[in-house]
Structure 1
Amino acid sequence: MKPTRFIDSVNCAIEGIIHTARTQKHMRWHFLAALVLLVTVLFLRVSPLEFTLLTVSICFVLFAELLNTAIEALVDLVSPEYHPVAKIAKDVAAGAVLVASIGAAVMGYLILSRYMFPVYKEALAMAGSPTEMVAVVSLLMVVIAVVILKAVSGKGTPLEGGLPSGHAAVAFAIATLVSILTQDPIISILVIAMAVMVSHSRLLLRIHSLREVFLGAVTGTIITLVVMLLFRTLR
């Protein structure tokens, strides 16, 4: 029945949001991203206008996800069996969420980059400027560490499967080296994105689990940072 009181309407709306968060994994990720963003904004002390723009972007993404969930539920009700038109409706609704997310990401980048990039650049400069020898030694140590860990875990082969993911370890080691060599936040973000894509491909191919990929990324990053910091200290 249609609610007659305002409080009942609000309760229905909140139940819809809770249902979406409970059943849709992407909605939970959106809420987590919004929480992290709000905490970050609190520490960065952005201007009221920038805060307003970020808030509108967050609300727009959440609105798109809610609308997508409503459309999916309606399509499932009308067409329980597979139908190409039902697929189009769901795909278009999902596309709306993607467009809203891209817009929010662009907005967040334009606003937050001028606050975070200087700090990020200083953090990259703390590791110094590694030489070619340091870069080669770092990569070799990452490869050796991966081989040892795979031998200890007894899973997979040297080039496929096992703990940790060698592709993720090497990809993040290279991303760390390039980030510190260039000390450019934009280049750093791009190479890290490529490392994430390489790691994600291991999941898509079902060669590694999420745990194996994560440990590989951590292994490559930490070993590379330790080698560069030791080189800087000894020099």
Structure 2
Amino acid sequence: MAKKKFSKRAKVRIRLKNKFVNAARGVYTAFKEESTLIVYLIAIIIAIALGIWIKLDLLSWSIIILTIGVLLGFEFLNTSIENFVDLLSFEYNIKAKKIKDICAAASIINSILAVVISFLIYLPPLIDRISEMIGN
């Protein structure tokens, strides 16, 4: 069987496509296995809808999008570290538990900070919007 020759540009396209396919598979796997991500996804949809309704400004949207990205990134990292620890540690191990607990703590702290950031950004325009509705 003859070996196919690909141009340099074709190889770059194939590698790039594979990276996106692998990343999409990782997102799918994480959402399938980690129920917390479903909760985050619902919260993200609500946050976006609320932001549209109260007409957030560009800077606020930038902060919200960055916060969402960091939140999801932390959760994906936490999930992959937990899976890696499970792969290495077949039976109960106190050090493995510590690693997983610390990763979970990082995710929870990040979640709490995301909620605080959301309140700081959403609360003033939300109060204004509700005041307009009640006043009219």
Q: Normalising by structure 2, what TM-score?
A: 0.83
1:7 aligned to 2:17?
yes
1:46 aligned to 2:56?
yes
Counterpart residue type for residue 104 of structure 2: A
TM-superposed deviation, 1:118? 3.8
Report what 2:104 is aligned to. 94
Going from structure 1 to structure 2, the CA distance change for 1:123 and 1:80 (only over 3 Å counts) comes to: farther
Going from structure 1 to structure 2, the CA distance change for 1:95 and 1:104 (only over 3 Å counts) comes to: same
Report what 1:23 is aligned to. 33
Unaligned runs of 5+ in 1: 126-235
Matched residue SS, 2:43: helix
TM-superposed deviation, 1:121? 6.2
Report what 2:9 is aligned to. none
Task: Determine the C-alpha separation between the residues in 2 that align with 1:85 and 1:124.
Answer: 56
Correspondence for 1:61 among 71, 79, 90: 71
1:115 aligned to 2:125?
yes
TM-superposed deviation, 1:117? 2.3
Going from structure 1 to structure 2, the CA distance change for 1:46 and 1:119 (only over 3 Å counts) comes to: closer
Q: Normalising by structure 1, what TM-score?
A: 0.49
Tell me which stretches of 4 or more aligned residues in structure 1 moved more than 3 Å: 118-125
Counterpart residue type for residue 45 of structure 2: L
Task: Determine the C-alpha separation between the residues in 2 that align with 1:86 and 1:97.
Answer: 17
Task: Determine the C-alpha separation between the residues in 2 that align with 1:121 and 1:22.
Answer: 41
- RMSD across aligned positions (CA): 1.9
* Higher RCO structure (Cα 8 Å, ≥6 apart): 2
Matched residue SS, 1:5: helix
Aligned residues: 122
Unaligned runs of 5+ in 2: 1-13
Give 1:215-230 correspondences, 5 Å limit.
none
Residue pair 2:54, 2:129 contacting (<8 A) in 1 also: no
Report what 1:222 is aligned to. none
Counterpart residue type for residue 79 of structure 1: S
Larger radius of gyration: 1
